[in-house]
Structure 1
Amino acid sequence: MLHDVRYHSVLMKENRMVTWQERWRQRRTSWHLPDLHFDLENHASKLLPKPERRILVPLCGKSVDVEWLYREGHTVVGIEGIEQPIVEFFSERNLPYTTDHLTWAKVFKTEDDRLRMYCCDIFKMDMESLGKFDAVWDRASLVAIYEEDREKYAKVIKALLAPDFRYLISTTQYTPLEVYSGPPRNIPTALVEKLFSKLHFFVLFCISVNWEGCHGLSWMLPVCHSVFYCYIIKGDEDRSSKRDVNLQVRQCKG
């Protein structure tokens, strides 16, 4: 059994796009939420202190968060490696769209061009074409990235940030098991600080969850205890406390 799990992990790394494509095809998408994400709903004012922001949502899937941000009047750019969830996003919401084929991506966009989804490899994007973003909502991206790609991922994100940016990240922390190490992957606070060093880093909220006979939130974590964190990273000169944490403990019973 352990050998099979390790073999599956290696296989996923070697066939990344194929693996995620199969998960969407088979509807094994436990990370997808039917409602607006709790962290975005509660901390949108910190992510978006001004109206009409330009927002990046990496590895967006068909998240309802994208539509919410768009309906709030912002310009939204989603990055997704698999075409199926992008097509489903527009069709399920009856949003008319057109497509363009670039050398590095297929683009799906609304008629007003305020919402774009790029189907591409996040590490092969044309950074200059994408431009800079006022905000990033990272709900299921950093936690899905392979450990060896985290530094590269952070470099990509930082290169896309406007000077006065806001970056909201939702992560989880747990002790990885031999039979399970994600996704979602364990993201310690120290790692977030390391990846985004020299930026203004704040812990907004964390909730400690003890699971008794049930799986972990939307990702179905087969672990006994996990802590879910929400961070805001800023590009301005606000130097208030890095540890203004609202910690809650929740007992979940199956």
Structure 2
Amino acid sequence: MAHDWLDRWREGRIGFHRDRPHPALVRHWPRLGIRPGTKVLVPLCGKSLDMRWLGQHDHPVLGIELAPEAIEQFVGEGTSEISRYRQDGFDICRQANVELWCGDFFHFHIQQAAEIGAFYDRAALIALPAPTRQRYAFHLAQLLPPGAAGLLISLTRTLDDGGPPYTVSSDEVRELFEPNFHVTHLEDGEPEAGSGFQESVWAMVRRGPID
């Protein structure tokens, strides 16, 4: 899985990348009630322009990405000064209020997530095969404090010929996340002509000890 992802970036096979912020992010994020200044975790972030949108709306962003090519392309397409440093086994680039940690999401631990209070997942869950998705949902929950809110976009397709991206049904989203999150289905997008892809958008709030 990791090798395939790295190969995609090295070879430029990044059809999943959008050249503008995701409309569901623009539409729904303001409704989540997340306070300005709250740091947002973006797992498997690629070079998503959604991070710039979040940064422009007063959120520090912490993106985690395995492929160094993605990080270099992101900062190369920006205009702000870049700072670089290493911490806890991750090579980190900071540009404006976006910091990108290069490494394995599953090696990112709660001690490093102390300031995080929200999350955004447009392409992390659907990039992972089924056995890894349960591990992902649990690890994400461990990184977030009670009350932390976020937005998740899942994907199904009529012709499931493998992935990534992988089909993740609504039932699976609930099965994975409801043990640790309050899960609210917000909308289903229109199926894309030809591919049969259909996105679903979810709001999630991390449960507390007595929820």
TM-score by length of 1: 0.75
**Structure 2 CA distance, aligned partners of 1:56 and 1:138?**
9
**Structure 2 CA distance, aligned partners of 1:67 and 1:78?**
11
> Counterparts in 2 of 1:96-107, with a 5 A limit?
96-107=81-92
Deviation at 1:142, TM superposition (A): 0.3
Deviation at 1:137, TM superposition (A): 0.7
| 8 Å CA contact retained: 1:104, 1:126 | no
Which structure is larger by alpha-carbon Rg, 1 or 2? 1
Relative to structure 2, which stretch is displaced further, 70-79 or 225-234? 225-234
> What is the match of residue 87 of structure 1?
72
Structure 1 unaligned spans of 5+? 1-12, 217-224, 238-254
**Structure 1 CA distance, aligned partners of 2:32 and 2:73?**
27
Does the residue aligned with 1:163 lie in a helix, a strand or coil? coil
RMSD of aligned residue pairs (Cα, Å)? 1.9
> What is the match of residue 199 of structure 2?
228
* Aligned counterpart in structure 1 of residue 142 of structure 2, from 149, 152, 159: 159
* Aligned counterpart in structure 2 of residue 138 of structure 1, from 118, 121, 124: 121
> Counterparts in 2 of 1:59-78, with a 5 A limit?
59-78=44-63
Does the residue aligned with 1:50 lie in a helix, a strand or coil? coil
How many residues end up aligned between the 2 structures? Answer: 207
> What is the match of residue 241 of structure 1?
none
> What is the match of residue 244 of structure 1?
none
2:28 partner letter:
H
Structure 2 unaligned spans of 5+? none
**Structure 1 CA distance, aligned partners of 2:191 and 2:112?**
41
Instruction: Decide whether aligned partners of structure 1 residues 82 and 139 sit closer, same or farther in structure 2, where only a CA change above 3 A counts.
Output: same
TM-score by length of 2: 0.90
**Structure 1 CA distance, aligned partners of 2:51 and 2:32?**
14
| 8 Å CA contact retained: 1:107, 1:116 | yes
Instruction: Decide whether aligned partners of structure 1 residues 48 and 80 sit closer, same or farther in structure 2, where only a CA change above 3 A counts.
Output: farther
1:44 partner letter:
W
Relative to structure 2, which stretch is displaced further, 47-56 or 137-146? 47-56
Deviation at 1:176, TM superposition (A): 5.1
> How many percent identity over aligned positions?
27
Does the residue aligned with 1:143 lie in a helix, a strand or coil? helix
> What is the match of residue 110 of structure 2?
127
